[in-house]
Amino acid sequence: MPYIIGTSIPEDKVLVQSLSHVYGLGLTQSVNLCKKAGFGSDSRGSDVSFSKGQILEKLAEGASIPLGADLRRFQNNKIRRLCLLSTYRGSRHRKGLPVRGQRTHTNSKKRPPLKLNVN
| Domains of the chain and CATH, by start | 3-61 (1.10.8.50), 69-119 (4.10.910.10)
Q: In this predicted model, what pLDDT tens digit does every residue of 84-104 receive, in sequence order?
A: 999 999 998 888 888 888 888
Closest residue by Cα to residue 67 from 4, 14, 25, 31 = 25
pTM of the model: 0.74
pLDDT tens, residue by residue, 34-56: 898 888 888 888 888 888 888 88
Say if residues 92 and 29 touch (Cβ distance below 8 Å): no
Query: Mean pLDDT score of the chain, rounded to an integer?
Result: 85
